[in-house]
Amino acid sequence: MATPISKTIPGTRTFAPGIEVGERGTITNNNSAHLIYQITEGRKLKLANLIVTNFSANATVALYDSSSTLSNRIIELIIGAEKTEILGPEDLIGAKEAISGVVVASSVSGVIVHVGGYEY
């Protein structure tokens, strides 16, 4: 069982005590939504890190809160062919919180996405 923690990002903000979580998924069909992480009912997810590896051609990768059927974008990235993009807490300041689940859509298949954050 995960232990509740309180996380401070230097110079920015303090997260409320929460449970550290993470999940990974592979995008096998482009231009369709893939649920990467289902949030526990009654909680929210604050994204703290994001790793996207693109094994295909140039790609646009977007994360959404699944509660809003792809109308509530959390973040969108353009990833070059055969590149990896790593975003940490300082890169994700201002990213929206998710309340239902994290869904990923990509313009190409062959993309691996890892999301990590804090449920509270």
Domains and CATH numbers, the chain: 20-119 (2.60.120)
Could you give the angle at the alpha carbon of 89 between the alpha carbons of 87 and 92, nearest 5°?
70
Q: What mean pLDDT is reported for the chain?
A: 85
Strands 111-119 and 45-54 come out as antiparallel
Q: What is the pTM of this model?
A: 0.80
Considering only CA atoms, which of 28, 42, 40, 1 is closest in space to residue 113? 28
Could you give the angle at the alpha carbon of 72 between the alpha carbons of 77 and 2, nearest 5°?
80
pLDDT at 11: 41
| Band of residue 7 on the pLDDT scale cut at 50, 70, 90 | very low
The string of pLDDT tens digits covering residues 23-79 is 899 988 888 889 999 999 999 999 999 999 999 999 999 999 985 556 789 999 999
Per the CB < 8 A criterion, the answer to whether 2 and 19 are in contact is: yes
Query: Greatest CA span in the chain, whole angstroms?
Result: 40
β partners of residue 25: 113
Dist. CA 45–CA 111, nearest whole Å:
22
